[in-house]
């Protein structure tokens, strides 16, 4: 082989080695990038698992809260149902008290009416006495 030819071949091999070296570095960079992406995917999967567990706990708490609210509403409905007869009784008592008030007022007025009647009778008797004295006859 001739020195120019050897040098040319050596130069060609050097270029091929440099090109291979660049391809290798590029491949290593891509592999490193893929490794980083894989690690990120694994972290994302872990985060997703944690989030799923937290969402499940929140859903359970939410369901318990809904159950508690429904039970409270049911108890409140039962209390209201239990109060309805009492409310009817109170309304009946109010009507009865109003009736008694009217009767009491009537009874209060009754003695006044009795006094008026008595007074009329006394006045009538006095008038008859006065008339009898004036006329000289006794009407009583």
* 40 is a domain residue: yes
Q: Is residue 95 part of a domain?
A: yes
What is the pLDDT, as a whole number, of residue 74?
93
Q: For Cα atoms 20, 23, 25, give the angle at the middle one, nearest 5 degrees.
A: 110
- Does 134 fall in a domain? no
**What's the token pair of residue 12?**
């060609």
Is 19 within a domain? Answer: yes
What's the number of domains the chain is made of? 1
Quick check: 73 pLDDT over 60?
Answer: yes
Instruction: Please say whether the dihedral angle defined by the alpha carbons of residues 64, 65, 67 and 68, taken in this order, is positive or negative.
Output: positive
pTM score, whole prediction: 0.42
pLDDT value at position 3? 64
Degrees, nearest 5: CA angle 45-50-55? 120
The pLDDT tens digits for 47-58 are 999 999 999 999
Note the pLDDT of residue 1. Answer: 55
Report the C-alpha gap between 140 and 130 in whole angstroms.
11
Range of the domain at 23: 1-109
């Amino acid at each position: 082989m001739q020195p120019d030819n050897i040098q040319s071949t050596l130069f060609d091999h050097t270029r091929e080695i440099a090109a291979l070296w660049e391809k290798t570095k590029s491949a290593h960079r891509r592999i490193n990038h893929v490794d980083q992406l894989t690690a990120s995917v694994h972290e994302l999967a872990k985060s997703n698992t944690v989030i799923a567990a937290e969402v499940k706990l929140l859903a359970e708490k939410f369901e318990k809260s809904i159950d508690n609210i429904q039970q409270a509403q049911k108890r409140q409905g039962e209390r209201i149902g239990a109060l309805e007869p009492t409310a009817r009784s109170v309304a009946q008592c109010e009507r009865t008290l109003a009736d008694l008030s009217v009767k009491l007022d009537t009874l209060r007025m009754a003695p006044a009416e009795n006094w008026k009647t008595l007074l009329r009778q006394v006045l009538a008797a006095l008038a008859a006495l006065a008339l009898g004295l004036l006329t000289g006859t006794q009407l009583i």
